[in-house]
Amino acid sequence: MLPEWSDQLDLLIRAGTPLIWIRSTEEERVQALLASVVQRLPGRQLSRWDFISGLQGALNQEGTGARQPMAVLQWLQDLEASRPTLLLLKDFHRFCDDPGIARMLRNLAVGLRERPHTLVLCSGAWSPPAELEECLTLLDLPLPREEEIKTLLQSIARAGGQGLDDAVLEELTHACSGLTEARVRHVAARALAQRGQLSRLDLDDVLEEKRRCLARSEVLEFCHTDADPADIGGHDALKHWLEQRHQAFSDEARRFGLPLPRGVLLVGPQGTGKSLTARAIAHSWAMPLLRLDVGRLFAGLVGASEARTRETIQRAEAMAPCVLWIDEIDKGFGGDARSDGGTSQRVLATVLTWMAEKRSAVFVVATANAVDRLPPELLRKGRFDEIFLLDLPGVEERSSILTLHVERRRPGLTLPLQTVVDRTEGYSGAELEQTVIEAMHLAFAERRELAESDLIRAANQLVPLSRTAREQLDALQRWASSGRARAASSQGASLHVAQGEEA
């Protein structure tokens, strides 16, 4: 069970570390792990305390300190050295703002160095008082690994009187990856209550449980999508690249030696299909799509933003395999770090470190409009597998996009589009879609079928972004042409409209 983590905990206890903070909300799992420590390190006993029940697991001292946090600390201070003890305190962080409790903990941090006792605090997110930070040794408890989940599912299935097929067990284990032990038990208990056994039918329940966990997040949003790569006009090079990366998630790719794909950064002007691409990736890969609102990461309290970032990463990994969509990342991390006391830089550093070192099947799709606002460390190789420029569509792509939107809204209608294609140079995909919609308004107002003339009139009325923001688009084109990004389209269309030409 978590061999590396357990070895680290054993070492801390054998080294006489007085105060250990295990950051986790899984009290039962922490208690079970400490019980296994006692078995591996003979001569020690495990006691535990909570505010209601008081002390448990101490001979002749049951109930000591009930509703009296100071009393249990006094008990440990007075405990003779001949009875080496691990004392697990549950929810004790709620009392640490009390000056007396804080002072007693600091006294124990010194006194327990000469005695064979260890004080273990178990809690989730917590910002310890400044005077306690140096006394506490922090140990983060990771989510259960697949071997733990597999063992847990097998024991639950046997307890229910039913065996588990190896293939079903493998699928359920993968599906439950990223859930806490308590959540896995909850899903399994519900399955046993409904059908009397664990089966493939429980996969949907596992995903629903993950959605419920995500619903409690203020930062991540679960996005339902039915977008498809066929809904994206052009960008053939990007589509081909994504097909290759999708194959790299398979077990066969692991055996071949390929690492899990990290993600992709999509840059380009507004309306070129960056958000649609993110949605299409998740739908075509049959993965959940999680949208990260970077602005909500920045909470008001000091240290809260970093805590939210860690929690967000953990929640994303709990949904793996999934697609994590960071929309308009340039707006979230492109500001002046001096204006927020460096919080944005610390949050960015946390995200970048995770992206570079992550081993989970979380595919990051980041989108950006203004690359000049992106920090250089985000663009460095190793953060993303690739950076793609989603250019304004060329001639063939404009024809494809117009055809797609006409067919979607007026199925079976065939119109000559060459004139419209010629008159929409410099139009983005979103602007071409709006051209079709405006043309339909013109036709509907006169209660007749959509005609080529309506599309031409609508195109002439619209002023594209390539005219109103020509300088910014030219700068983006120069940046991409320097070799910093790959073209999403094999046509390699230019972002800017030639001087003197009509769009």
Q: What is the pLDDT of residue 303?
A: 62
Is the distance from CB of 495 to CB of 477 less than 8 angstroms? yes
Q: What is the pLDDT of residue 502?
A: 32
Q: Which of 389, 424, 445 is the last residue of a domain?
A: 389
**Amino acid (1-letter code) at residue 347:** V
Q: Please report where in the chains the tokens 């390190």 appear, as a residue.
A: 41
pTM, two decimals, is 0.70
Is the distance from CB of 176 to CB of 149 less than 8 angstroms? yes
Ranges under pLDDT 50 in the chain: 493-503
* pLDDT tens column, 9-25: 999 999 999 999 999 99
Domain with residue 417: its CATH number is: 1.10.8.60
- On whether both 310 and 199 belong to a single domain, the answer is no
Spatial separation of the C-alpha atoms in residues 315 and 6, rounded to whole Å: 23
424 phi/psi in degrees, rounded to 5 = -115, 25
Spatial separation of the C-alpha atoms in residues 89 and 76, rounded to whole Å: 11
DSSP H or E segment with residue 332:
helix 329-333
Q: What is the pLDDT of residue 310?
A: 85
Write out 373-411 in H/E/C secondary structure: HCCHHHHCCCCCCEEEECCCCCHHHHHHHHHHHHHHHCC
Helix/strand/coil for 478: helix
Spatial separation of the C-alpha atoms in residues 104 and 96, rounded to whole Å: 10
Q: Are strands 289-292 and 220-223 parallel, antiparallel or unpaired?
A: antiparallel
- On whether both 239 and 195 belong to a single domain, the answer is no
- On whether both 359 and 472 belong to a single domain, the answer is no
Is the distance from CB of 401 to CB of 429 less than 8 angstroms? yes
CB-neighbour burial class of residue 455 (10 A; exposed 0-12, middle 13-18, buried 19+): buried
- On whether both 212 and 167 belong to a single domain, the answer is yes
Is the distance from CB of 502 to CB of 423 less than 8 angstroms? yes
Q: Which of 351, 368, 389 is the last residue of a domain?
A: 389
Q: What is the pLDDT of residue 319?
A: 79
- On whether both 242 and 353 belong to a single domain, the answer is yes
Count of helix runs (H) and strand runs (E) in the chain: 22, 13
- On whether both 343 and 233 belong to a single domain, the answer is yes
Picking from 148, 169, 163, the residue whose alpha carbon sits closest to that of residue 36 is: 148
CB atoms within 10 A of CB 458: 21
- On whether both 210 and 238 belong to a single domain, the answer is no
- On whether both 239 and 365 belong to a single domain, the answer is yes
Picking from 139, 301, 278, 302, the residue whose alpha carbon sits closest to that of residue 221 is: 278
- On whether both 261 and 194 belong to a single domain, the answer is no
Which residues lie closer than 8 Å to 485 by C-beta, 6 or more apart?
A: 267, 387, 388, 389, 479
Token couple for 83: 């009875």
Which residues lie closer than 8 Å to 376 by C-beta, 6 or more apart?
A: none
- On whether both 298 and 447 belong to a single domain, the answer is no
The C-alpha R_g of the chain, in whole angstroms, comes to: 29
Q: What is the pLDDT of residue 301?
A: 54
Domain span holding position 369? 223-389
Spatial separation of the C-alpha atoms in residues 439 and 429, rounded to whole Å: 15
Our count of domains for the chain comes to 4
Domain with residue 365: its CATH number is: 3.40.50.300
- On whether both 195 and 333 belong to a single domain, the answer is no
Spatial separation of the C-alpha atoms in residues 363 and 502, rounded to whole Å: 40
428 phi/psi in degrees, rounded to 5 = -80, 170
162 DSSP assignment: -
Q: Which residues pair with 123 in a beta bridge?
A: 23
Q: Which of 373, 389, 405 is the last residue of a domain?
A: 389
CB-neighbour burial class of residue 315 (10 A; exposed 0-12, middle 13-18, buried 19+): buried
- On whether both 497 and 436 belong to a single domain, the answer is yes
Is the distance from CB of 121 to CB of 19 less than 8 angstroms? yes
